[in-house]
Chains A and B, each alone.
Chain A
Amino acid sequence: MIVDFVRYLAAILLVIGSLFSFLAAVGILRLPDLYTRMHAASKAGTVGAGFILLAVAAISLDIGVALRAVVGIGFLALTAPISAHLLARSAYLSGYRPREMLKIDDLSGETTPRRKY
């Protein structure tokens, strides 16, 4: 009974997660600019991998495996914004300009790195 319920739940979570990952990849291919591509990849990709790890946690019925999967989701949700922010900042500062459709540009005065790494 509980095994069947958990299997249905894991199947739904798996399909949702893989759809999110697929849409992240399509966004990387189709969007026009580095920054818009980064917006697709770092949000939808994280949610997709998170849903799949949640499916693993649901189907295992084991507190150790479920805890490891939840820790993995937390790690993914913690590191994806950091790496996306660092990549966007270093791309901007090393000369990749956004397209003209950008309305607000908070980094416009800051064209060089503050210190040499």
Chain B
Amino acid sequence: MSALELLVHATSLSLGLLLLAMGICVVRLMLGPTLADRILALDTLTTVMIGFIGTFAIRSGLMLYLDIAIALGLAAFLATIALARYLLSRHPLSRDEDILPEGVE
């Protein structure tokens, strides 16, 4: 097997794995019992998406996709910070069953 064939197979494998990982993140985003779980799932989804764009840059040979991946990482960081601040300012000490995870009290 030549190196180029191996590289094509490796990109196919990793695109499939990353697609599966994105699907799992979406499942946690829908299930996630609390808001913090959903924020975490969104954060992981964008991190996986950075890897997906990097893999696609290798597969297509267009290195411009790398800039898109870096910009997406910046936007994801700001979004996570903003959502965490929103979580902190929502109900500081309320003890609803919406907030408590399962199995506590």
* B3 and A69 within 8 A (CB): no
A84 to chain B, nearest CB (A): 8
B83 to chain A, nearest CB (A): 8
8 Å CB interface, B65-105 against A: 66-67, 69-70, 73-74, 77, 80-81, 83-85, 87-95, 99-101, 103-104
Per DSSP, chain A at the interface is helix
Please determine whether A45 and B48 come into contact, CB atoms closer than 8 angstroms.
yes
Q: Shortest distance in angstroms between A85's beta carbon and chain B's nearest beta carbon?
A: 9
Cα–Cα, bound, A26→B41 (Å): 11
Report how far A37 CA is from B93 CA in the complex, Å. Answer: 23
Q: Which residues of B contact A104 (CB under 8 A)?
A: none
Range, interface on chain B: 35 or more
Residue among A4, A72, A91 making CB contact with B73, cutoff 8 Å: A72
Please encode chain A, from 1 to 39, with 1 for each CB lying within 8 Å of some chain B CB and 0 for all others. Answer: 001100110111011011101101110110001100110
Q: Is the CB of A8 within 8 A of B6?
A: yes
B22 with A25: CB separation less than 8 A: yes
User: Do B66 and A21 touch (CB < 8 A)?
Assistant: no
* Inter-chain contact B36/A83, CB cutoff 8 Å: no
Chain A 59-87 near chain B by CB (<8 Å), digits 1 or 0 = 11010010011011001100110110011
- A38 contacts across to B, CB distance below 8 A: 40
Interface residues of chain A, those whose CB is within 8 Å of chain B, are 3-4, 7-8, 10-12, 14-15, 17-19, 21-22, 24-26, 28-29, 33-34, 37-38, 41-42, 45-46, 48-49, 52-53, 55-56, 59-60, 62, 65, 68-69, 71-72, 75-76, 79-80, 82-83, 86-87, 89-91, 93-97, 99-100, 111-113, 116-117
In the complex, 5 of the A-B residue pairs with CB atoms within 8 angstroms, ordered by the A residue number, are: A28-B28, A34-B34, A52-B55, A87-B84, A90-B36
Hey, which bits of chain B sit against chain A, CB under 8 A? 2-4, 6-7, 9-11, 13-15, 17-18, 20-22, 24-25, 27-28, 34, 36-37, 39-41, 43-44, 47-48, 50-51, 54-55, 57-58, 63, 66-67, 69-70, 73-74, 77, 80-81, 83-85, 87-95, 99-101, 103-104
